[in-house]
């Protein structure tokens, strides 16, 4: 059967993608950001993932105020990088595992999660930046090393889903994947955040202490962490910090007991706290199942 073996939490700051595309990652400002992903890229190679299930949010490139689904699952054959105002990023087209994506869509709906099925959409920096930092520089003439199933979550228009809803969605995604007959190694990404606010009087807010507490509890106390109310994200992590509810989807899809194998945290990167964590299911527990 297919199995989710590990999870990745990762910020998706658009300027990180720009730095990679412009070849300036070794500049003093950017070098500390990218040093924290060197181990991650080696780890990713070792995983030999067949599929990445990537949870992110659209930044008004596919959805606008006329239609904003809470959860939108990509089920089309492929998804091109979006033009976010300065042309598409020069990275590969995302190719989907359509059969698994369709299976997950059916399983989630029958599990009473209302999923919007997207057969056509473009993907913005919310998806392409995490792929770039985890897999390294890729051009439009390359291919990503694995197939990618995108899940877009609304954290732009209030109200976003709660952390608890996202955590339980992760559990439902795990059930869906494990009911798929093909032998596949699936790694799930939860992206967005960490603390940042881009506008008004608190623009530039970064709360390192709160971010690090979030990372600690994501590993050791995920159920209680998933109960964090929206107002706490807004107060402590800024108006855009609510993106971190998407990390709960990743955590819910893993075993209760996980091992933290890597963590990276750096501030700032374009007025944002960059957070990153890799969690693996505890090996003997996974074998027992």
Active site residue 196: yes
Distance of CA 187 to the CA centre of its chain: 11
**Distance (Å, whole) CA 231 – CA 81:** 33
Choose, from 12, 97, 103, 196, the residue flagged as catalytic.
196
| Region class of 204: left (phi > 0), else alpha (psi between -120 and 50), else beta | left
Choose, from 125, 248, 264, 276, the residue flagged as catalytic.
125
Active site residue 264: no
- For the annotated catalytic residues, the residue numbers are 125, 196
């Amino acid at each position: 059967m297919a199995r989710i073996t590990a999870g990745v939490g990762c910020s998706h700051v658009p300027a990180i993608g720009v730095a990679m595309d412009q070849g300036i990652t070794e500049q003093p400002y950017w070098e500390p950001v990218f040093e924290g992903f060197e181990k991650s890229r080696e780890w990713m190679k070792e995983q030999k993932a067949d599929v990445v299930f990537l949870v992110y949010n659209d930044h008004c490139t596919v959805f606008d105020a006329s239609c904003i689904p809470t959860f939108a699952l990509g089920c089309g054959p492929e998804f091109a990088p979006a033009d976010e105002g300065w042309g598409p990023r020069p990275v590969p087209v995302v190719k989907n595992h359509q059969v698994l994506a369709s299976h997950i869509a059916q399983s989630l709906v029958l599990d009473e999660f209302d999923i919007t099925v997207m057969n056509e959409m473009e993907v913005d920096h919310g998806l392409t930046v995490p792929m770039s930092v985890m897999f390294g520089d890729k051009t439009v003439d390359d291919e990503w090393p694995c197939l990618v199933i995108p899940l877009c979550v609304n954290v732009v228009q209030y109200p976003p889903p709660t952390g608890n809803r996202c955590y339980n969605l992760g559990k439902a995604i795990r059930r869906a994947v494990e009911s798929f007959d093909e032998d596949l190694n699936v790694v799930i990404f939860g992206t967005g955040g960490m603390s940042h606010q881009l506008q008004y009087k608190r623009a530039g807010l970064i709360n390192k202490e709160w971010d690090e507490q979030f990372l600690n509890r994501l590993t050791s106390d995920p159920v209680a962490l998933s109960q964090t109310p929206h107002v706490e994200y807004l107060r402590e992590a800024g108006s855009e910090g609510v993106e971190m509810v998407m990390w709960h989807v990743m955590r819910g899809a893993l075993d209760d007991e996980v091992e933290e194998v890597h963590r990276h945290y750096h501030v700032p990167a374009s007025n944002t706290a960059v957070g990153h964590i890799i969690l693996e299911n505890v090996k003997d527990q996974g074998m027992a199942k």
